[in-house]
């Protein structure tokens, strides 16, 4: 997350945790755009009165960071995003799409970055959830086992013309407890 840098940042599938992410960025951006298909996540970020959310909002205001929250499908082109971002990142999002959708998404990310932009993907795999819990998450479009292998995702990133700057895979020792077997990351440059 410290590799996230620049003035304008895009978070794909931001979920309800967007404000937490910002404290880990490598620098304080001017603007962060969060997009998620689930309106409940966006409404939560906009309207929650949970003390932690209010505190995060105050920090953002004090640092004059503009936040734009959008309900939308990241698989659909947003023309206004083209060449706009210094970093595009996604946590727990990219790895859940089937190959054809993932290819499309990677091409869109490439388009959205400015010429020296960075793309960060952090993901997890080897799901250990019970069938019931997995189905629940799948219904919410929160997670899917349909995505390609880590190796294949790396290949698709390279095929999109990105250069992989860093790639790490963490083998979770207590996967039954943690509910995921591997956490991995790709940092790629346009």
Ligand X SMILES: C[S@@+](CC[C@H](N)C(=O)[O-])C[C@H]1O[C@@H](n2cnc3c(N)ncnc32)[C@H](O)[C@@H]1O
Q: Give the interface with ligand X as residue ranges (CB under 6 A).
A: 13-15, 17, 35-38, 41, 73-75, 91-93, 141-143
Q: How far apart are CA 164 and CA 152, in angstroms?
A: 13
Closer by beta carbon to ligand X, 54 or else 75: 75
Least Å from the CB of residue 72 to ligand X:
6
DSSP 76: S
Helix 99-112 to helix 150-159 angle (10° resolution) is 40
Taking the least distance from each CB to ligand X, the nearer of 82 and 163 is 82
Residue 141 dihedral angles phi and psi, to the nearest 5°? 55, 30
Shortest Å, Cβ 41 to ligand X? 5
**Which C-beta is closer to ligand X: that of 50 or that of 163?**
50
DSSP line for 107-139 = HHHHHHEEEEEEEEEEEEEEE---HHHHHHHHH
Q: In whole angstroms, give the CA distance from residue 53 to residue 91.
A: 19
What residue number has its CB nearest to ligand X?
Answer: 15
Report the residue number, 35 or 113, with the smaller CB distance to ligand X: 35
CB 115 to ligand X: min, Å: 25
Question: Considering the complex, what minimum distance in angstroms separates the CB of residue 132 from ligand X?
Answer: 17
């Amino acid at each position: 997350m410290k590799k996230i840098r620049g003035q304008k940042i895009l978070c794909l599938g931001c979920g309800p945790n967007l404000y937490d992410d910002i404290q880990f960025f490598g620098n304080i951006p001017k603007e962060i755009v969060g997009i998620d298909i689930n309106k409940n996540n966006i409404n939560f970020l906009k309207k929650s009165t949970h003390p932690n959310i209010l505190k995060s909002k105050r920090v953002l205001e004090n640092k004059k960071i503009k936040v734009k929250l959008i309900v939308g499908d990241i698989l659909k082109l947003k023309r206004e995003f083209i060449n706009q971002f210094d970093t595009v990142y996604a946590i727990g999002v990219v790895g859940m799409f089937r190959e054809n959708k993932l290819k499309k998404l990677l091409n869109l990310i490439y388009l959205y970055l400015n010429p020296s932009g960075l793309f960060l993907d952090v993901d997890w795999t080897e799901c250990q959830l019970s069938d019931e819990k997995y189905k629940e998450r799948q219904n919410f479009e929160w997670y899917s086992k349909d995505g390609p292998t880590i190796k294949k995702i790396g290949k698709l990133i390279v095929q999109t013309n990105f250069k992989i700057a860093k790639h790490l895979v963490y083998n979770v020792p207590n996967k039954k407890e943690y509910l995921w077997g591997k956490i991995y990351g790709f940092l790629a440059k346009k």
